[in-house]
Chain A
């Protein structure tokens, strides 16, 4: 009530007061936004432009040689110089493989899990807690734990479990060390850690589907699958698209697990290296900043394309909830 009276008072406030408020906005607005904007400029916008500039130079840290402008050479090397292009194209391919598996699998799994925990069952709180737990695990720790689970010969948890269930007929396998399964192992640990993130977002989507739609469907004697396909899926379509694209961007950022395991030599690096892995090993470990920057720019172009597609789809479909 008092609010109402006050807001009416506000409307009849003398023009001088309003002008004063506006002029205080004109000054205080930029002042309040300034700390964040300056930080964003220094730590995001300038290094972003810097990456583009650096990619045109032969550049090393702590080197006596002056930076040398070499134009687009480092970009063409990414695709033509066998020393660099072999690993880079491999990494690019690995990123796409990772995304091609993780995006559909993780999205579908997240949806399945969301449906599973969406509803009342005795003990559901305990299951939900179990499902959400991996989310708080830092990726470095995820890599260490799963490195042990995937350990080769029969000391590894997974090998030992497989041997038990197959009665010893399937021998132990070096999951991380063999090129056939290393990427699969990275995929498993990544999904384990982050699927609950997508699951929670989808759970929010599921709970926003109006309940009377289900009632109407069941009055129409729609079967379970038919309800799922004609009520649930359309109801969370936007959320599903959002989750899939979010997962795509995450896929391209893959780095921590691979780098950490690569450092200890416990993973087959050729089949698991990613673009970010190349950026860091080239730019940091080999001190070839310019070449690494060129890779970072390619990385950024790909991520941007995904993000723009994401925004387009979202805008077409209206707001996402």
Chain B
């Protein structure tokens, strides 16, 4: 009992001090989020109104209607078009990425083939190269494929870091389980998807979440590859929209909310596995 008390007492701060800090940082993190939400629900001229911008008065969905009215023909594009492009590209990258990267991770972790060690080394080296470093040469090489949907997704399907994550996770699974499946006559692909994958859901969740976050906000690549309004993903359109003259801050913020809200909702539902995923991304090494 005394032990427990002394551990409690060994905290750096008193309870009140901790609450004070929690509230302080909570406000810093939350005020911009709140500002976005409230701003999207109030008349546009209130957004730049100093501190009064935080007062939740005159709430309406006018800005949202404004967004849909503004993007209502083929020249401006449609909100659902931008969202559709972002969704489609992100879905392809996440699902396709889970498939190809786990296949490669499994082949590297569990199968014996000529050249495996060299490939493993190359994959490890490639985790160092950030996409930014190859964006410009890739833009030059793929300039004929500009303004297509698939070119937005293809460069991000295979990911050295995801392969590495799958590889290390698969290594941690007891090999006996797979050998049993092999004896039962299952080939390696079937063993992976019927036996190993169901046991590796944390790895799949981690790769899915990290890939999703990176892809949903992808900005650099569409800047280079997409000029056609019809094929703009949300981040690109947001960057064009925030630049409109005269500024339309109300609808811009509503557009921002539409952009982030789905992710925020998913985050709130899956917060636990979300945090676990981010934490395990630190195991990289």
Using a CB–CB cutoff of 8 Å, the interface residues on chain A facing chain B are 2-4, 6-7, 9-10, 13, 21-22, 24-30, 32-33, 35-40, 43-48, 50-51, 54, 59, 61-62, 113, 115-117, 119, 121, 123-124, 126-141, 144-149, 151, 154-157, 159-161, 163-164, 192, 196-197, 200-201, 203-205, 214-215, 217-219, 222, 224-225, 227-228, 239, 242-243, 246, 249, 253, 255-256, 259-260, 263-264, 276, 279-280, 283-284, 289, 292-293, 296, 299-300, 303-304, 307-308, 311, 314, 319-321
Cβ-defined contact, B217 with A28, below 8 A: no
Binds A, one of B56-64, B67-75, B112-120, B197-205: B112-120
Cβ-defined contact, B163 with A140, below 8 A: no
Q: Report which of B104, B130, B223 forms a contact with A303, defined as CB distance below 8 A.
A: B130
Min CB gap A243→B, angstroms:
7
Contacts of B246 in A (CB 8 A): none
Main secondary structure of the interface of A (DSSP, over half): helix
Cβ-defined contact, A138 with B188, below 8 A: no
Contacts of B173 in A (CB 8 A): none
Within 8 A of A (CB), among B159-184: 160, 163, 176-177, 179-180, 182-183
Contacts of B281 in A (CB 8 A): 201
A192 and B32 in contact (CB under 8 A), knowing A32-B188, A259-B223, A319-B285?
yes
A218 and B108 in contact (CB under 8 A), knowing A131-B26, A204-B279?
no
Q: List the 7 closest A-B pairs by CB distance, nearest first.
A: A138-B217, A160-B50, A29-B113, A39-B158, A201-B282, A36-B104, A204-B279
Within 8 A of A (CB), among B269-285: 271, 274-275, 278-285
- Report how far A193 CA is from B22 CA in the complex, Å: 17
Cβ-defined contact, A161 with B51, below 8 A: yes
- Report how far A280 CA is from B18 CA in the complex, Å: 44
Using a CB–CB cutoff of 8 Å, the interface residues on chain B facing chain A are 3, 6-7, 9-12, 15, 18-19, 21-22, 25-26, 28-30, 32-33, 35-36, 39, 47-54, 99-101, 103-104, 106-108, 111-116, 119, 122-123, 126, 128-141, 143, 154-158, 160, 163, 176-177, 179-180, 182-183, 187-189, 192, 213, 216-217, 219-220, 223-224, 234-236, 238-239, 242-243, 249, 252-253, 256, 259-260, 263-264, 267-268, 271, 274-275, 278-285
Main secondary structure of the interface of B (DSSP, over half): helix
Cβ-defined contact, B132 with A299, below 8 A: yes
Contacts of B133 in A (CB 8 A): 48, 51, 296, 299-300, 303
Question: Across the two chains, which residue of chain A brings its CB closest to B188?
Answer: A28
A138 and B111 in contact (CB under 8 A), knowing A28-B188, A160-B51, A200-B279?
no
- Report how far A50 CA is from B158 CA in the complex, Å: 19
A155 and B49 in contact (CB under 8 A), knowing A129-B271, A149-B35?
yes
Cβ-defined contact, A215 with B140, below 8 A: no
A284 and B223 in contact (CB under 8 A), knowing A296-B133, A300-B133?
yes
Q: Report which of B52, B108, B182 forms a contact with A33, defined as CB distance below 8 A.
A: B108
Instruction: Give me 21 A-to-B residue pairs in the complex whose CB atoms sit less than 8 angstroms apart, sorted by A's number.
Output: A10-B179, A28-B188, A35-B103, A38-B158, A45-B126, A51-B136, A131-B25, A135-B278, A136-B263, A138-B235, A140-B217, A144-B252, A157-B50, A200-B279, A201-B281, A205-B282, A242-B285, A263-B243, A289-B137, A293-B137, A304-B129
